[in-house]
Amino acid sequence: MATAPDVVLIDAGGTNIGSVRYALERLGVDAAMSDDPARIRAASHVILPGVGAAAPGMARLRASGLDAVIRDLTQPVLGVCLGMQLLFEHSEEGDTPCLGVVRGQVRHFPRAGGLRVPHMGWNALVAERDDPLLYGLESTDAHAYFVHSYAAPLGPDTLARSDHGMAFSAVVRRGNFCGMQFHPERSAAVGARLLGNFLALDPAA
Amino acid sequence: MLTRRLIPCLDVRDGQVVKGVRFRDHKVMGGIVDLALRYRDAGADELVFYDITASPEGRRVDRAWVERVARVIDIPFCVAGGIRSVDDAREVLHAGADKVSVNSPALERPALVGELAEAFGVQCVVVGVDSLRDADGEWRVRQYTGDPDKTRALRRRTLDWVAEAQRLGAGEIVLNCMGTDGVRAGYDIEQLAAVRAICSVPLVASGGAGTPAHFAEVFAQADVDAALAASVFHSGAIAIPDLKRSLREAGIAVRP
């Protein structure tokens, strides 16, 4: 990238925001944290981290008017974990209407069949489509660290999948809106690569 | 496919990693950040830092080291020891820990588990269980095992407590089998399998690892999601890359 990205992290109340900021630090990027719409709009890249439940997460964004701000952003936006789930149309968790910038619905993992939930640990990423967000991972046996009980089935915006009782979207992208269901900030070299790929996306594209 | 996790456990006292789990005469092994990085580079899937400074004395500790670890480490880590309230947990999670583990305080006041799950989500809440088989053949829970003088045997059956902890909102259970702990003769497969049968959240085996074969056995026979160990990793008796190789040969899925 020509100039250093100006990254803003939206504080949606998740406990992983510090970890995401440190991961960016390790990539040489000093990210700002903000809930100020003007500051968010001015960023080259916006990240919505998030750990917790969908309903309070969306409620917090709506209360501050950030839901509309995020929907209208044109620069690259990355939702991480719950932050990715909020990009979809709807989450079964708390029957929550979400931002709707990525197509699909978020559901609970199957409750039958002895499936262990939360889905917690390192699972394989399998590319479904070519995309700059996945650069460097095509030929590798890439694993990422997941911790979640809800997931989006494969859909038109799925870039990479993972499997746990069902195939689900691990990486999604629709236009400037990107999502990672796992924690890139805790996914060792694979996570650093994916975060770097996101930061390399052109803000004006 | 979800891989099985290998988790070195580091005991932390006054900001340093010490050796001598649950015994006196702790010897300083090194700096927390240095050791955390070494395990990360070796391919550990996760780390547990067991803060032994505070728990038995019931005092709070300086958690600045949690932030130092979070800055340099890019694998998940859990902090155990001395977490007695939502505020304690928030401090540790906001400093960058991915999970908190509660043991004796959850036995004192089981509602703590639900409060933590409500505040941070079940994925952050690990319940550690210290368990020993009594003369009547029942596995029962032990409390305050951090200090041999204060350790108490409870009437609570281990299987009942694991079931209750899940109901309350535990997102993961670490079962420390005290009968095999420190002996390096293998994990307590029988007990772990019994707990596995009633545990629908991830289950971590602790206590007894001595050889790579012990890890393969506990994954294959007790179907645990992760295996925790301390001394075999710290002493260098088992190197994680070698262990992963032997697990892969035994048909166990591990992260490359």
* Chain B residues with CB-CB distance to A189 below 8 A: 74
In chain A, positions 70-99, which contact chain B (CB-CB < 8 Å)? Answer: none
**B121 and B89 in contact (C-beta within 8 Å)?**
no
CB-based burial, A60-83: b 16+ in 10 Å, e otherwise: bbeeeebbebbeebebbbbbbbbb
Reading the block at residue B244, the tokens are 């992963």
Q: Which amino acid is at B84?
A: R
Tell whether B243 lies on the interface with A, counting CB pairs under 8 A.
Answer: no
Q: Please, which residues bridge with residue B50 across strands?
A: B11, B80
What is the separation of C-alpha B187 from the centre of its chain, rounded to a whole number of angstroms?
14
* Chain B residues with CB-CB distance to A56 below 8 A: none
| Contact criterion met (CB < 8 Å) for B1 and A186 | no
Q: How far is B252 from chain A (nearest CA, A)?
A: 13
Tell whether B226 lies on the interface with A, counting CB pairs under 8 A.
Answer: yes
| Contact criterion met (CB < 8 Å) for B122 and A122 | no
Mutation site for B-interface testing, chosen from A186, A187, A190, A195 by largest number of B Cβ within 10 Å? A186
pLDDT interval class at B24 (50, 70, 90): low
d(C-alpha B141, C-alpha B131), whole Å: 5
| Contact criterion met (CB < 8 Å) for A149 and B122 | yes
Q: Which amino acid is at A27?
A: L
| Contact criterion met (CB < 8 Å) for B202 and A141 | no
In B, minimum Cα distance to A52 occurs at B121
Of B70, B120, B123, the CB nearest to A22: B70
* Mean pLDDT for the stretch of residues B163-178: 97
For residue A53, what are the contacts with CB-CB under 8 A and spacing of at least 6?
A: A82, A93, A94, B121
For residue A133, give the nearest of A88, A167, A175, A100 by alpha carbon: A175
The size of the A-B interface in CB pairs under 8 A is 97
* Mean pLDDT for the stretch of residues B114-134: 93
pTM summary value: 0.94
* Chain A residues with CB-CB distance to B4 below 8 A: 121
Tell whether B3 lies on the interface with A, counting CB pairs under 8 A.
Answer: yes
Does the active-site annotation cover A98? no
Long-range contacts of B239-242 (CB under 8 A, 24+ apart): B239/B42, B240/B6, B240/B8, B240/B39, B240/B42, B240/B43, B240/B44, B241/B42, B241/B43, B242/B212
For residue A146, give the nearest of A164, A122, A167 by alpha carbon: A122
Q: Which CATH superfamily is domain A7-199 in?
A: Class I glutamine amidotransferase (GATase) domain (3.40.50.880)
pLDDT in tens, chain A (205 residues): 457 899 999 986 667 888 999 999 999 999 999 999 999 999 999 999 977 788 888 998 999 999 999 999 999 999 999 999 999 999 999 999 999 999 999 999 998 888 999 999 999 999 999 999 999 987 678 999 999 999 999 999 999 999 999 999 999 999 999 999 999 999 999 999 999 999 999 998 7
Q: What is the longest distance spanned by two Cα atoms in chain A?
A: 51
The secondary structure of residue B3, as a DSSP letter, is: P
**A184 and A191 in contact (C-beta within 8 Å)?**
yes
pLDDT interval class at B21 (50, 70, 90): very low
Q: How far is B186 from chain A (nearest CA, A)?
A: 23
* Chain B residues with CB-CB distance to A16 below 8 A: 98
More confident of the two residues B200 and B145: B200
Tell whether B90 lies on the interface with A, counting CB pairs under 8 A.
Answer: yes
Of B2, B75, B225, the CB nearest to A186: B75
pLDDT, residue A1, reads: 47
| Contact criterion met (CB < 8 Å) for A51 and B122 | no
Does the active-site annotation cover A93? no
Residue B4, phi then psi, degrees to nearest 5? -85, 140
**Integer distance in angstroms from the first to the last C-alpha of chain B?**
12
For residue B119, give the nearest of A182, A117, A13 by alpha carbon: A13
Residue range B57-106, pLDDT digits in tens: 555 667 889 999 999 999 999 999 889 999 999 999 989 999 999 999 99
* Mean pLDDT for the stretch of residues B174-182: 92
pLDDT(B54) > 60: no
Q: How many other C-beta atoms can be found within 10 angstroms of the C-beta atom of residue A135?
A: 13
pLDDT, residue A137, reads: 87
In B, minimum Cα distance to A19 occurs at B96
Catalytic residue among A81, A93, A119, A164: A81
Does the active-site annotation cover A90? no
